[in-house]
Structures are given as structure tokens and as C-alpha cells.
Structure 1
Amino acid sequence: MKTLNKQICELLKQRKEISSNNPGYPKFEYIEKWAISFDLYEDYLKSVFHVLRNEEHYKPIVEPIGFRKNVPILKFKEQEEFFYTVTSMRQYSNASVITFNIDWVVVSDQSLKSNKTKHFELYLGETYHCRMDSGGGSSGHLSFNYVVSPALPDDISGMDFVFNEFNSPFKDTSTGNEIVFRIG
């Protein structure tokens, strides 16, 4: 069993590399065929592929500790009917917390498109791990907090804060919407 388990780990690594760490989820028709071919339960395979969908969900979570200070950022972008802002950065000894807001004007039924849940991922380069920690909103407003580790420098001049929108929290499909804040 040890050799077989090692081979499974090797295949997982290969799957991760080939997919650039975003393997997605196989079509149900493939899973159905594989279940028959390999004499496995279809729901079992669905469960396995659900777990394999994105390794990022299993990365150890860094909780900010040792608050040091607040740093104002106050950058905005307007795109179509949306007003995007990065307001501030809370500095901790081991991490930073970035606040990202989305606002729009609510007008009758037209707002239904705007009210759909938005899933944005923050990217700050290979050095930093970013995860959406909390978020919520109301009619015309959404607010999200992202934990960044290791902590960003107090002076973030020259950095790009890139927010990419996805159709779901699993990052399966990008909407192509990218909001970039260049910190001057």
C-alpha cells in the first residue's frame, strides 16, 4: 500500500503542475464512465474530485496577531456602474488586512444584475498569500477583508493590488473582470 499511496501523491503533484494549481472539476459524464470502468461508486468519485478541486482551501490559515497600526490607502476605480475602493490596510506582526469595497446605485429591476454575489480574489505577486477572510453587504454595497501573509511593508508604494473576479469561490471560471489599483 505504501508504494501505491506514494504513486497517488505523485499523480496529485502532476495534476497540480499540469493545471497550474487550478484543476477544476471533471464533467459528470466522465465521472460516471470512470465509476463504471474502475468499479467505484459515482458519489465517491464526485467527493474525491470535490476535495481535489483546489488545494488552496487546505493551506494553513494565518490569523492576524499583534496589531501594529492602520495605513490609509484610499484608491478608487470606476468601471461600468461599479465604484471600487481599497480604503485601508491594517498592519499586524504576521499579516496585513486589506479592505475592498464595491458600491453601485440601486435602481429598480436593473439592480438585479448588480446584486449577484461577486467573488474577487486578491493577487499581490508570488511572495504573498491572499485569502478573503470576511465580507458582506447590502443593497448597493459590498465590503471584503483580505488577509495577506506575510505582512506587507508599511510603505506599499509601487505595488499593484489586483482583484480578479470569478463566477464562484472555487475560482473555476474567471469573468475576465480585473480591477487593478496601482499604489503611487
Structure 2
Amino acid sequence: MFRGEPISTYYSPQLEQIDEKICALIQERKKIAGDNPELPSEETFQSWGKKFGHYPDMLREIFTMMQNEDVFRPRVEPKKFRCFVPVMSGQKFGDQMICVTHLRQYENASVLSLTVASPFDYKEHDDQRQLDYELKIPDSSYDCRSDDGSGSEGLWIRNYIITPAIPDELPDLKLVFQEQEFFPKQKRTGNVFELNLRKTN
């Protein structure tokens, strides 16, 4: 994807008016879609391509970028590690055990580690589906971003960068994890689980 400087040095005022309307429509779509920015069907892409004279692949790319808007957010890299904060919060979720064991505290962010223990191998489970979890902290100003993760037979660990940093004396926060399928098709499964963040001695 090209993200450099615009190729053209001239920008028509007529185009600017149209492009502003496109931006307004994108904003309206986001409000209606909420946390579930669904993609049109393949048949719809084909139909719109014929109706408006566009390549269906181009339309699919545009809508996919809107679905994955999160990747365009400015990325915060944790800087200057301060300490570990022990946390113990977990629950049984289906046939899995979900838990948060600690926070890594930095000057500008917190890194939360989610551990998912299962009786199956993630690489072979459920017809080769690859599952992940999106983190949100409702009713707060915290921004949560998925970071690196690793897995083996029966165990999956996902890290999340949270900004600004959560205070060392943990406030009463609810962690909401939304299960989503990344392969073969990116979509939310509808499964949600919640954990309460609390510090251990």
C-alpha cells in the first residue's frame, strides 16, 4: 500500500468537495456499524463493480481497510520499564481457562499478558481456525492494542499495550475480551468474556 506524498501537485476544489463527502459517509458508516464493521458480500462487490464501473477487487480493498482501521492508529511503543505488577484474575470460558497474571509497567504504557489454556492444540483445533482476542476497557479513556503473541500445544499468550499506563495501585477496571477468528476469514465469533483487574499481594 502506498502511503507516501500525493503524486499530483494540483487538487481540484471540486474533488475536495466530493472527497469531504466521502469522509463524512465513512464517519456515518462507522457510527452505524459500531464495533462490528461488516464487509459487503462478494456478490455485492460484483454488483457494485458493474453498476458503477469499478473493479470489484478495488472495492473489496477499500472496505477491508475500513474494517481494519485499527492498524492505522499511531502506535505507542512502551518505553523505560519500571516494574511488574502481579495480577491474578481468571475464569473458565467454555473448555478454556483464561487468566491475566501480571502487568509490565512502563513510563508511557502498561503491557498486559493474557494466557489462554486449552485441552487442544490451537494449530489443529476446529478445522484449522485461528482464534484471537480483542481487548477493550469500557467506560474508560484507556486505549488497548494487540501486540505480539505466541502459542504451543494447549497454551496461547497474547500481549496488549494499554495507554496511558494503568496506575500501579490498580483501579477497579473491567477487561472485556472479544473472541475473533483471523483465519480463514476475519470475523468476530460473538463470544465475549470479562475479567476484573485486581492486584495480588
SS in 1 for 2:112: strand
What fraction of aligned residue pairs are identical, expressed as a percent? 30
Instruction: Verify: 1:56 aligned to 2:89, yes or no.
Output: no
Displacement of 1:10? 1.1
2:92 aligned residue: 78
Report the Cα distance in structure 2 between the residues aligned to 1:156 and 1:182, rounded to whole angstroms: 7
Tell me the alpha carbon deviations over residues 137-175 of structure 1, each in whole angstroms, 9 at most, x when there is no partner. 100111111000111111114221222212238973233
Contact 2:87–2:103 (Cα < 8 Å) also in 1? yes
The 1:40/1:113 distance shift into structure 2, 3 A limit, reads closer
1:92 aligned residue: 106
Deviates most, 158-167 or 89-98:
158-167
Deviates most, 67-76 or 111-120:
111-120
The 1:146/1:28 distance shift into structure 2, 3 A limit, reads same
Instruction: Write the mapping of 1:23-42 to structure 2, written as runs, cut at 5 A.
Output: 23-42=37-56
Specify which of 35, 39, 57 is matched with residue 43 of structure 1.
Answer: 57
Q: If the length of structure 2 is used for normalisation, what is the TM-score?
A: 0.80
SS in 2 for 1:7: helix
Tell me the alpha carbon deviations over residues 103-151 of structure 1, each in whole angstroms, 9 at most, x when there is no partner. 12359xxx73498432111111241111110111100111111000111
The residue identity in structure 1 corresponding to 2:164 is P
The 1:136/1:82 distance shift into structure 2, 3 A limit, reads same
Deviates most, 12-21 or 136-145:
12-21
RMSD of aligned C-alpha atoms?
Answer: 2.4
Contact 1:81–1:104 (Cα < 8 Å) also in 2? yes
Displacement of 1:72? 0.4
Deviates most, 82-91 or 162-171:
162-171
Report the Cα distance in structure 2 between the residues aligned to 1:100 and 1:115, rounded to whole angstroms: 22
The residue identity in structure 1 corresponding to 2:67 is R
Between Structure 1 and Structure 2, how many residues are aligned?
181
1:122 aligned residue: 135
Contact 2:92–2:98 (Cα < 8 Å) also in 1? yes
Q: If the length of structure 1 is used for normalisation, what is the TM-score?
A: 0.87
Specify which of 115, 122, 129 is matched with residue 101 of structure 1.
Answer: 115
Contact 2:129–2:181 (Cα < 8 Å) also in 1? no
Deviates most, 172-181 or 96-105:
172-181
Contact 2:131–2:180 (Cα < 8 Å) also in 1? yes
Report the Cα distance in structure 2 between the residues aligned to 1:130 and 1:164, rounded to whole angstroms: 12
2:18 aligned residue: 4
SS in 2 for 1:140: strand
The 1:37/1:136 distance shift into structure 2, 3 A limit, reads same
Report the Cα distance in structure 2 between the residues aligned to 1:155 and 1:46, rounded to whole angstroms: 46
Contact 2:83–2:105 (Cα < 8 Å) also in 1? yes
2:170 aligned residue: 156
Unaligned 5+ segments in structure 2 are 1-14
Deviates most, 164-173 or 12-21:
164-173
The residue identity in structure 1 corresponding to 2:134 is E
